[in-house]
Structure 1
Amino acid sequence: MNMNQTLLLAGTSLLFGTSCANLSKSKSESSKPNIIYILADDMGYGDLGCYGQRIFETPNLDLMASQGIRFINHYTGSTVCAPSRCALLTGKHTGHSVVRGNKEIQPEGQMAMPAGTRTAAHFLQKAGYSTGCVGKWGLGYPGSESDPLNMGFDYFFGYNCQMKAHHYFPEYLWENDQKIFYPENSNGQQKMYSHDETTRKAFSFIKENKEKPFFLYLAYAIPHAELVIPEEYLAKYKGKFPENPFSGGHYGKQDYPRATYAAMISHLDSDVGKLNSLLKEYGLDENTIVMFASDNGPHVEGGNDPLFFESSGGLRGEKRSLYEGGIRTPFIVKWPGKIKSGEVSQHVSAFWDVLPTLCDMAGVKAPEDLDGISFYPELIGEKQKNHELLYWEFHGYTGDKQAIRKGKWKAVRNKIIRANMPIELYNLELDPFEQNDVSEQFPDMITEMKSLLDKTHVQSEDFPFEYEL
């Protein structure tokens, strides 16, 4: 063999080896499951048929639950928007996370997370995923260090500011770092409904990334107030309920608040159905994990009446409360071929578990300094590790609050305005609706819970309690 033949053989071997490596990498990436996490805004635990709703229908989410797993002990990150989403994306509960309440930044946006913050999107990018956030952000003002494009997302569309997301006919939305204006909504016109535009952009993201693994965080603003929806969607429910018209204010006037709330959730449900149909059309349904939850309990603004619909599912409290109705969410996960159909999970989990779970799904190592525990084993029927406890704190205009769930026990400390504020104690096994405070009967448990409440909280300069625990 002459020198040229030797070099040609070596070059061919190198090329073949490189091609095999690229092919192997391509096959490895394509085998990773796509992940879609859908987040409703202010939808209650009892607002889905599969969680007990009987006044309006949610057939598509009910179908999704029948095809996958439905969690009945899954908790939000907090009881209002921004801290709940911070816990979801960073894997840390509100005793350790940066954002622990809603804090507005003028003229647009919310308090930013520090530049070094690592979100679920960062880790999925590392695993080879295209990452998109479509909908509502609420975790940093435009251009800040925690603008979505600086927090691991390749693409962003929607409301950067959650206050702007109170209104569904905006004059502009953000696409990446540019404002997209909608003249058809100027001067009080109401023609472009932002929820529908959000759905269109989400579907476009799926289409554009269907040849490679993708992560879509689809953070809908529905059914947060204001209560408004185009007439074509409202017609189904209009006139079906006795109404208490809402006179307006920050949120717009609404003559049919109950019908509108039902229509908003029905419309959201319909779009979840369309999303699952789109995945099937593209041949992606067998290799796509679809998750659905809400960011906190049902709101009472804009004329909404959660008692009428039993939106909390019989649980005590609603948004801004640390009772179960404020922080327990419906949670559904569908993954054909991996998750058995019609499963119901009793596993106690929370938003800060989502990041390590997504890392497990994507085959990338999660950081070790998280509060979250992956519930991936629970999804696929393997032995699941449990939390020692779950912790929440909330800083807002209803007063600073704390809560802990440890096994069957739930402790709640409301309106922390001085040391030694009373701690309520509930046995969720016997009293899931938190009607009977048993703190006097179990003083030793109160002592333990007080110690846990004090030591699990790390003081924050931005969200301090009024006294040092």
Structure 2
Amino acid sequence: MPLAIATSMVFAVLLGLACAEADEAFDPAATPVRPPNVVFILADDLGYGDLSCFGQQRFQTPHLDRLAERGMRLTQHYAGSTVCAPSRCALMTGLHTGRCEIRGNREHRRAPQQGGDPLRTSEGQSPMVGPAPTIAEVLHKAGYATGAFGKWGLGYPGSAGDPTRRGFDRFFGYNCQVHAHRYFTDYLWSDTQRVAVDPAAYTPDLIREQAIAFLRAHRAEPFFCFLPTTLPHAAMEAPAERVRPWRDRFAQFEGRVGEYAHTKTTNPIAAFAAMVTQLDSDVGQIVAVLEELGLTDNTLIVFTSDNGPHKEGGQDPVFFDSNGPYRGHKRDLYEGGLLAPTIACWPGHITPGGVSDFASAGWDWLPTLCEVTGAETPAEIDGVSLVPVLLGQGDPPQRDYLYWEFHEQGGRQALRRGAWKIVRQNVRKEPAGVPELYHLPTDPAESHNLAADRPELVRELSELMDSARTPSERFDFGR
């Protein structure tokens, strides 16, 4: 029996039944262990260098560092996209942004009622309506309790893309990513109902507590708990008592005021440090509850980010070295805009302190979680299972390339095949423009464009890039 299947316990029930038939007496010790739980934490705009276990020097993230020590760091793991909604769609469906349904941030707009709040009447994003199943739908079908807690952004309330219509039994948080710019608000969504919340409450606290309640409620059955947190997306906001120590440490920025989503923040540098360390604390609390419930050894925890670091609301990714040694930030298709600090922890299965430089991406998690849980993997996806990488079993999966497209700022495309990466800029106006070419092993900062030196390779990768995408009525480059 392959180790990957054995550790995911796909055949544990069958084995238990076989033993029971051979032994007429029931032995409680022989009762099969249930399939593993999955806790998937998706940070929002957290850069590659924003965790101390990935090189952050300005502050520490001890809980995530401990998670990495107990598990594996994936040092070449890419987000599904360089902005929120398409990154989440790629993650949920196992399809890259040249084939998934949502390829850009696009708001759902309706005319506001007279005297009404424009946000509430135009809330939410363009919905997923197509047949591609989500992770939640696949795991729900396999018998998992499914819950999402945080920011959705893949379909306005009541639409076909509403999380409760895409496989989640439970949802609590922000349906709309624009609403999620407000860390202090008077309402959130609970399943299909808009519920009032204390406007003085910090919403990450409310969301974390609902996620913990879900873990407790489903402790006796396999569960998929998805936490797409809003931290540390702009606006730069945290409770004053949590920011205060960082204002003292970063007093040189007291004269700086950051503004985002009608929110003004004095010393947004201090606020950013408070937000990331709050994220770290939240992860620590989730892990502590799993330990309390005795679920640690049977739970795969994945932590990653939806794209590279932002430069909004007064945040300074240069000061924090948020993109580490890489070029670019959120909305760039350079490494800094796509590489995400990623950790996978599964005690007894993933070797502690492991590091993998296998080039993986957000759309790989659907087939990975299917193999881990024994769920049926959907056909015709772009992702590959990372189980051999995580468990150190066998050869790593084979893939031809990784592809991204971005529909803002003139349109951009990027493709990585092996050691080489090709990037196109402003493709709406210059679809035939000369791409940039980088050799990542010798130039991880993408500072030396080799396109002029390797015209045949540029031509080959350009043709591959053209064939990687399928047309989309909603997201088209206009050519």
TM-score using structure 1 length: 0.91
SS in structure 1 at match of 2:259: coil
Is 1:48 the counterpart of 2:22? The answer is no
Distance, in Å, in 1 between the alignment partners of 2:27 and 2:168 is 26
How far off its partner does 1:27 sit? 5.3
**Aligned in 2, Cα 1:290/1:247: closer, same or farther, shift over 3 Å?**
closer
Is 1:167 the counterpart of 2:179? The answer is no
Alignment of structure 1 residues 68-467 onto 2, 5 Å: 68-106=71-109, 107-182=122-197, 184-185=198-199, 191-241=200-250, 242-243=252-253, 245-248=256-259, 250-383=261-394, 384-396=396-408, 398-416=409-427, 417-467=429-479
Is 1:33 the counterpart of 2:36? The answer is yes
Q: Could you say which structure has the larger radius of gyration?
A: 1
The farther-off stretch of 234-243 and 332-341 is 234-243
Q: What CA deviation, in whole Å up to 9, does each residue of 1:388-417 have, x standing for no partner?
A: 100000101x12100001111010001112
How far off its partner does 1:367 sit? 1.5
- Any conservation in 2 of the 1:115–1:146 contact (CA below 8 Å)? no
Which residue identity is paired with 2:272?
A: Y
Distance, in Å, in 2 between the alignment partners of 1:427 and 1:116 is 37
**Aligned in 2, Cα 1:27/1:128: closer, same or farther, shift over 3 Å?**
farther
- Any conservation in 2 of the 1:373–1:385 contact (CA below 8 Å)? yes
Distance, in Å, in 1 between the alignment partners of 2:403 and 2:273 is 32
Which residue identity is paired with 1:137?
A: W
Which residue identity is paired with 2:460?
A: E
Q: Percent identity?
A: 46
Could you tell me which residue of structure 1 aligns to residue 9 of structure 2?
A: none
Which residue identity is paired with 1:35?
A: V
Runs of 4 or more above 6 Å deviation: none
Which residue identity is paired with 2:49?
A: G
Which sections of structure 1, spanning at least 5 residues, go unmatched? Answer: 1-15, 186-190
How far off its partner does 1:249 sit? 5.2
Distance, in Å, in 1 between the alignment partners of 2:258 and 2:150 is 28
- Any conservation in 2 of the 1:117–1:151 contact (CA below 8 Å)? no
**Aligned in 2, Cα 1:239/1:115: closer, same or farther, shift over 3 Å?**
same
How far off its partner does 1:177 sit? 0.5
Distance, in Å, in 2 between the alignment partners of 1:140 and 1:365 is 25
Distance, in Å, in 2 between the alignment partners of 1:421 and 1:273 is 48
Once superposed, what is the RMSD of the aligned Cα atoms?
1.7
Q: What CA deviation, in whole Å up to 9, does each residue of 1:399-457 have, x standing for no partner?
A: 21000011110100011123311200000010001010011111111011110111111
How far off its partner does 1:466 sit? 2.2
